[in-house]
Amino acid sequence: MNLTSHASPKLLATLSTSDCRYTRCRVAADNNSSLELLTILARDDAWQVRGDVARNDNCPKDLLASLAKDDVPGVRCGCAENSKAPTELLAILATDTNMDVRRAAAENPNISIVHLMDLAKDAEWVVRKATATNPRAPTSLLVLLSSDHEGDVRCSVAANPCCPAEQLITLASDADLLVRCRVATNPNCPIATLITLANHDGQYPSSSAKNTLRSKSAEFWCAAVSQGLSLSTPFREGLPGKTLGDALLALSMVDAYHIIQELEIAHQLNEIEPTLRSESTREKSKWSM
């Protein structure tokens, strides 16, 4: 955070001695603050100021390591939230006695997979939820937490863009309505699952699924058709006896229906064209004899 893009080193130095804690916090969080200023503010009486120093991306590793030993959990949280916190420091913070510090460490992309997996088994659901939101969460972690007894944890799994399609299919039938909503907004959610949610689920999951389907581009449908999707694709579960075309029309998704229809026709013509060309060549050869 920058106090002002035009703040001079002299102005920042002056503001760092302000009686107002909020002002000192702003200086501590400012990326333009010098190393000297950050070092001074790291010893501030107000833990909030020290915490903002810890969150500052320009905080040097040795100062960050020192702040990670602070008696106040809020300061240690700042260290765990620092986007440049080294893996070895996060390993220490991942075992902190304070739940919020462990949560912050679990959310940091720099944490090692080993420690992320350990935190996925934490006694506090808030920490487990944090691991499920981590962009580096491996598939094994997401699979583990997809059956967590806390709905909020399963929600985070369902919302993670790295969640595999197989797990999303399972979570689409979760008892928790919010979990199903997260499944419906996940970019990896299979088309069949989206359409099933859109047709049969409660108001919120159904609305989320419809919005996701409507957001799909022509390029998306083109890729899906090239992989075998067609209007005649049957539904084995959720919509027995119905095809993709039936489901799209039931949802009034005429545009998507027409896009797929045009792609299918184009695909069929591409398959027929070589045959017609070959037959035409044979006819010409016959008449030239």
pLDDT digits (tens, 9 = 90+) for 246-261: 888 888 889 889 999 9
Residue 57 is assigned to a structural domain of this protein:
yes
Residue with tokens 């993670």: 160
Q: What local confidence, expressed as pLDDT, does residue 85 receive? A: 98
Residue 169 counted as domain residue = no
Q: How much of the chain, in percent, has pLDDT values that exceed 70?
A: 89
Mean pLDDT of the region 232-238: 76
The total number of structural domains in the chain stands at 1
- Output the pLDDT for position 6: 66
Q: Do 53 and 59 touch, CB atoms closer than 8 A?
A: yes
User: Residue 64: inside a domain, yes or no?
Assistant: yes
pLDDT tier for residue 29 given thresholds of 50, 70 and 90: very high
Output the pLDDT for position 278. 55
The answer as to whether 35 is a domain residue is yes
Is 8 a domain residue?
yes
Task: Name 283's Cβ contacts closer than 8 Å, sequence gap at least 6.
Answer: none
Would the pLDDT of 14 be above 70? yes
Does position 19 have pLDDT exceeding 60, yes or no? yes
Q: Which domain holds residue 20?
A: 1-82
Is 164 inside any structural domain? no
* Residue at 40 is within a domain: yes
Q: Which range has highest mean pLDDT (110-114, 222-226, 235-239)?
A: 110-114
What's the CA gap between 165 and 180, in Å, rounded?
Answer: 13
Start-end of H helices in 162-230: 165-171, 177-185, 191-200, 203-215, 218-226
pTM over 0.85? The answer is no
pLDDT at position 276 is 43
Do the domain assignments include residue 239? no
Task: Identify the pLDDT of residue 284.
Answer: 55
Report yes or no: 141 and 131 within 8 Å, Cβ to Cβ: yes
Q: Is the model's pLDDT at 201 over the cut of 70?
A: no
- Residue pair 117/141 in contact by the 8 Å Cβ criterion: yes
Q: Which of 3-12, 174-183, 226-235 has the lowest mean pLDDT?
A: 3-12
